[in-house]
Amino acid sequence: MELERPMFFALLFMALMGCPPSNESDLPSGKFTAATYNVGLAVGYVPAADYRAPLAAEALANVGADLVCAQEVWLPGQIGLLTAATEDTLPNTFLPDAMPEDAGGAGCTEDELAQLMDCADQACEDVCDDKVIDCIFDNCPLQFLGLEKTCQSCVMAAVGSDVEETKTTCTTANPLFAYGGAFGTALLTSMDLSDTDELLFASTTNRRSVLYGLVDTPLGETHVFCTHLTAVFSMIPYPKEEGSWAEEQAAQVEEFLDYIDEKAGSEPVLVLGDMNMGPDSFGIDGEQEEHYNTLSDGFVNPYIDDDGQCTYCDDNPLNAGNITTEIIDHILLRDHQEVTAESERILDEAIDAERCGETIDAAYSDHYGVMTTLSR
């Protein structure tokens, strides 16, 4: 049977233009899994960090992800444990170099520190290093709040040090950032990673940035962004004369969104990290919800729909019921065509840990992770 002339020429035109004569998608098919995890290795701030570090690294290496954005892996030894554990499963990595910075001079005078040091010596003399920060905040809050902002900043940057080390550091130097200016973030993947870049944020006490990489996934090239934004503390003062934790976070959100648009345009985007913000929902407390709404506008957050359990939880044994119950760890998607996404909470098992010579109930981290599988 002969084709009618209009149909014949239409098919000929599609063949010459490389267009298939069917409605089937020419997008690549396949799947990959991405995870975000705050490992919680802030020595002196999150309990039992030294003990948990190798356990958390091994657990993360075996979680089954093809791509991981890790946060709060601060110290060189912790980074070594993570990269060694993941060298077979996630061999392609992007980790930012530490950027220590000193404001010059001494952060504190000995006289200025005297009341805080005397209180700490009396109240915390027999306390092990892992509990010093808790002890000082429990017993000496007024002495800390009475410090000048510059001195407060130095003491906060000395987190993880004992009382004498803090005194020596802050009366002879004025470091601006904790853990030697480390960022604590790492982008690790089993897929090809190229065009890596970093956006440096203005930040306080801890260095903050965005790690960027172009990842060749089974679904096509994807622009990946990994970050850990500033936390908005209610009990810890902002150690600068101007600004606030909330203003700092808001500025980071605006810079972050501009950076995403600059790098990715309308191409597929994957944003991962501890954003220190999240929505309010049934059983979940909102955290800087206005900032979250700004950041997530135009994105899909599959975890909120699929699972919706807290990631920073008051019933995590490392948090001891001292926090609100929040979802602040996120994987956000934008401009992914015809993709199905399924999400779950990960690394939420209970473990035992050693702290100050005692066995305590713990988890791998004070956060739980989020993992999302994308398929087409």
pLDDT in tens, 234-253: 989 999 999 999 999 999 99
Give percent of the chain with pLDDT exceeding 70: 93
> Is residue 23 scored above 70 in pLDDT?
no
Give the span between the Cα atoms of 133 and 136, in whole angstroms.
Answer: 5
pLDDT at position 13 is: 41
> Is residue 255 scored above 60 in pLDDT?
yes
148 and 295 part of one domain: no
The answer to whether position 62 is within a domain reads: yes
Query: Residue 165: which domain range?
Result: 110-172
121 and 148 part of one domain: yes
Give the span between the Cα atoms of 123 and 211, in whole angstroms.
Answer: 41
| Residue 325, domain CATH | 3.60.10.10
> Is residue 15 scored above 60 in pLDDT?
no
pTM of the model: 0.92
204 and 159 part of one domain: no
pLDDT at position 283 is: 83
> Is residue 1 scored above 60 in pLDDT?
no
- The neighbouring-strand residues paired with 353 are 360
48 and 131 part of one domain: no
207 and 329 part of one domain: yes
210 and 146 part of one domain: no
> Is residue 14 scored above 90 in pLDDT?
no
Strand order in the sheet with 31-38: 92-94, 186-189, 67-71, 31-38, 369-375, 340-346
How much is the average pLDDT of 205-219? 99
Each residue of 135-177: pLDDT tens digit? 998 999 999 999 999 999 999 999 999 899 999 999 999 999 9
The answer to whether position 5 is within a domain reads: no
CA geometry: angle at 231 spanning 229 and 236, to 5°?
A: 150
pLDDT at position 24 is: 57
The answer to whether position 138 is within a domain reads: yes
Q: Between these two residues, 283 and 30, which has the higher pLDDT value? A: 30
In the block, tokens 């699929």 appear at 306
Q: How many domains does the chain divide into?
A: 2
How much is the average pLDDT of 182-201? 99
For helices 110-124 and 149-157, give the axis angle rounded to 10 degrees.
50
> Is residue 219 scored above 60 in pLDDT?
yes
Q: Which of 172, 199, 223 is the last residue of a domain?
A: 172
pLDDT at position 10 is: 47
